[in-house]
Amino acid sequence: MSTRSFTRLTRRYRFSASHRLHSPELSDEANRELYGKCNNPFGHGHNYSAEISVTGTADPHSGLLVSVPALDALLERTVLRDLDHCDLNHTLEDGVPTSENVAVEIERRLAAAWPDGFPRLAGVRLWETKRNRFELTHEEQ
Amino acid sequence: MGRFGRLTIKIVGYRPACILWAGKRIQRNAMLITRRVEFSASHVCASPALSEAENRALYGAAANPHGHGHNYVLEVTLAGEPDPVTGMVFDLRELKEILQREVVGPMDHRFLNREVAPFDKVVPTTENIAAEIWRRLDPNFRDSARLNNVRLYETEDLFVDYSEAAL
């Protein structure tokens, strides 16, 4: 009986950033009601961690699905350099910097710079705190 | 800690099954049970076909020729239905013995490249160790419970999930 194998590698990266949740579409009062403490005009910050998953077939010679130093370099270049110790309201191109939108931004940056020869990007799981995580599955365009 | 002290049980999509629960017939998916064990081992990640500089670029610090070690954490997930008599998907005491015999015994406090086949010939990357653990464990589960997933943490920041399924 033939079988199909499934391999997925997940690597966790950490960054710290500030944000303020405030929608320009809403009144000040509505923003306060919706976002609560996260609407504080002076902002606040989190120690985020982002789990990046890739999936595919490990190379039979190297035994690697992906070179971890190469994945680290990609994250450093495309995500961490801009997002670590930043104010997300200034760094994100559009949208309120909720963790949902930060996860989408990370996915967008990775997909735009995804190197040839890398296994498929499977998804992004972003932890805002130990108690809140936001997960998206990457769909190939 | 009781029998479930270090065990997580979750119900996810697998294959639907009909069971009787409190006299009512309900439809739900197979149950997954996961047991976690740890082992500590050293390894070198370098391909003999590559130069030292190429290995360094590909594997990073893991290519250091004298080796280095990790506290590996292994999560083994089985899928199945709770037995109507015992109420268990699989006997956890037996699972503990299987993990000890197939993985922890042979790999704990070992230098994988020198002491654990096939890593004398195959680079002991996290991917390859996870796949080898699957191959060692899978033949032990042929009845009610099936091996569903092997998750191997090399560090808390790097893990690999590995599974095989019949085509």
Residues of chain A in contact with residue B49, where contact means CB-CB under 8 angstroms, are 61
Asked if A8 lies within 8 A of B160 by C-beta distance, the reply is yes
Domain locations along chain B:
7-162
Q: Which two tokens stand for residue A119?
A: 């296994």
Asked if A6 lies within 8 A of B49 by C-beta distance, the reply is no
H/E stretch holding A6: strand A3-19
Helix (H, G, I), strand (E, B) or coil at A32: helix
Q: List all residues 6 or more positions away from B21 whose beta carbon is below 8 Å from its beta carbon.
A: none
Nearest CA in chain A to B47: A62
Q: State the pTM of this model.
A: 0.87
Nearest CA in chain B to A66: B58
pLDDT confidence bin for B167, thresholds 50/70/90: confident
pLDDT confidence bin for B58, thresholds 50/70/90: very high
One-letter amino acid at A130 equals: K
For residue A44, what are the β-bridge partners? A19
A38-70 tens-digit pLDDT:
999 999 999 999 999 999 999 999 999 999 999
Residue B152 buriedness (CB in 10 A; 0-12 / 13-18 / 19+): buried
User: What DSSP state is assigned to residue B97?
Assistant: H
Cα of B84 to nearest chain A Cα, Å: 30
- As a whole number, mean pLDDT of residues B40-69 equals 95
Asked if A5 lies within 8 A of B131 by C-beta distance, the reply is yes
Write down the architecture of domain B7-162 according to CATH: 2-Layer Sandwich (3.30)
Terminal C-alpha separation, chain B: 40
Give chain A's domains with CATH numbers: 8-137 (3.30.479.10)
